[in-house]
Structure 1
Amino acid sequence: MSSDLRAELTQNLDEAEWEWLIPHAQRDAVIVVTRELDLLDVAEAIANDNIPSVQQWIDEQLIAKPTTVQLGEWNGDRTKRFHTLIIQPYVLVQEIN
């Protein structure tokens, strides 16, 4: 695990409103990370091609593409805020309550 990568990811951690994320959702690039996971851990695993971890999170539905229901809710509240982290070509998002 590279601490340089972790530092770079930490610097790129941001907050965004759904309005800003819509274009990414339209190109199917948004990945929702549940609050049980650390956004940085997920980003680091994806960046390092850590397939076993990523696959386990997908299997446990801890990371997933947004559902139609979620997209509908968020499109209805475009100021909803998310923690975001870009890991090309994806945008990882985590809901902020």
Structure 2
Amino acid sequence: MTETNNDLLRAKINGETARMQWMELQRFFASGAMIAVSEQLDLVDVAVRIAADDKQAVQQWMADGLIGKVTDAQAQSWLESNAELWAVVIKPWILVQREKMH
């Protein structure tokens, strides 16, 4: 992917990122299409790499435990706390991330 295409993709994804309540996202979790992104990573960077099919980066993040399918425990915690998450769609996935604590 050229740098210009990468910049355009990044801008598009950034514009599609939104804060959403967990209640609005639960149905995507139930369908198994939700990926949790660690607060250590930038949600847009991860989305760009997935969209660009960067298997090496994605496999490394998975091996390091930085991305993975949302667990039942995460879903329960987010439900109980009425969490607001950052979310973006990279078909067929919904990527979600807790807000970074400063």
In the alignment, what sits opposite 1:23?
Answer: 27
- Report SS of the residue matched to 1:85: strand
Question: Who is 1:73 aligned against?
Answer: 77
What is the CA-CA distance between 1:74 and the residue it aligns to?
A: 1.8
The answer to whether 1:83 aligns with 2:86 is: yes
Q: 1:41 aligns with which of 42, 45, 53?
A: 45
Q: CA deviation at 1:69?
A: 1.3
Q: 1:9 maps to what in 2?
A: 13
SS in 2 for 1:82: strand
Number of residues of Structure 1 aligned to a counterpart in Structure 2 = 96
Superposed CA offset, 1:25-61 (max 9, x none) = 0100110000110101100010000000000000000
How large is the Cα RMSD of the aligned pairs?
1.1
Matched, 1:62 2:78: no
Q: Structure 2: which 5+ residue stretches go unaligned?
A: none
| Structure 2: distance between partners of 1:16 and 1:26 | 16
Residue 42 of structure 2 aligns with an amino acid whose one-letter code is: D
Aligned-residue sequence identity (percent) comes to: 33
How much has 1:6 moved relative to structure 2?
A: 0.7
Structure 1 unpaired stretches of 5+: none
